[in-house]
Amino acid sequence: MVNFEVGKIFFPAAKFLHKNLGLTPNQISLMSFGVGVTGAGLVWFGMVELALTFLAVSLVLDGLDGLVARAFGLESRRGEWLEVVLDRFSEGLWFGALVLGGFARWRWAALAMVAILLMTVLRDKTGFDPGFKRIVLFLGYGIGFDWVLKIIFGVNLLGFVANLVILDLDLQRRLDAK
């Protein structure tokens, strides 16, 4: 399983953050957010390469918070909520910075954000999330950020529709069982 293998690779870092530095998953989430916000600010000022480096660090920390929570039995509903809220704010700030920095049009940034929010609303009910959010921004350096925002919009809109289908199938199964 990919997640298990990735978890094995990053476990030493997770262990260091928790055991040696005493950080909780929520503190790591806040660190990830801070690094991500800094990256978004750098985009706004045109420092895209440096911003993408900050994004990479932010995404690694974003994965480590959940790894620490699972590995050390610190999972909580509050922590999951904090993670999702910070992720959505981070995406909104990045998309806004791309627009304000002149790298993308507001229409695609807004549509991408709306699709992500729609996707997020149903994710908890179905467990399905296609991803394709901040990680895809790295492609923007090569193909342009408008294209990346179009991809994010399309994938998350399809994910939203897939979640609607999953919910409908679940409802039909429950109704048929009666």
Residues 81, 8, single domain; the answer is yes
Residues 73, 158, single domain; the answer is no
Residue range of the domain that includes 42: 1-99
Residues 82, 110, single domain; the answer is no
Question: Any residues with CB less than 8 A from the CB of 5 and at least 6 apart, and which?
Answer: none
The CATH number that applies at residue 15 is: 1.20.120.1760
Predicted structure pTM score? 0.89
Distance, in Å, from the CA atom of 88 to the CA atom of 117, rounded to the nearest integer, reads 8
Last residue of a domain, one of 84, 99, 114: 99
Last residue of a domain, one of 55, 75, 99: 99
Q: For the segment 11-43, what is each residue's pLDDT rounded down to a tens digit? A: 888 889 999 999 999 999 999 999 999 999 999
Residues 80, 146, single domain; the answer is no
Residues 86, 122, single domain; the answer is no
Burial of residue 109 (number of CB atoms within 10 Å: 0-12, 13-18, 19+): buried
Q: For the segment 63-119, what is each residue's pLDDT rounded down to a tens digit? A: 999 999 999 999 999 999 999 999 999 999 999 999 999 999 999 999 999 999 999
Question: Any residues with CB less than 8 A from the CB of 58 and at least 6 apart, and which?
Answer: 32, 33, 35, 36, 39, 90, 134
103 DSSP 8-state letter: S
What is the count of structural domains for the chain? 2
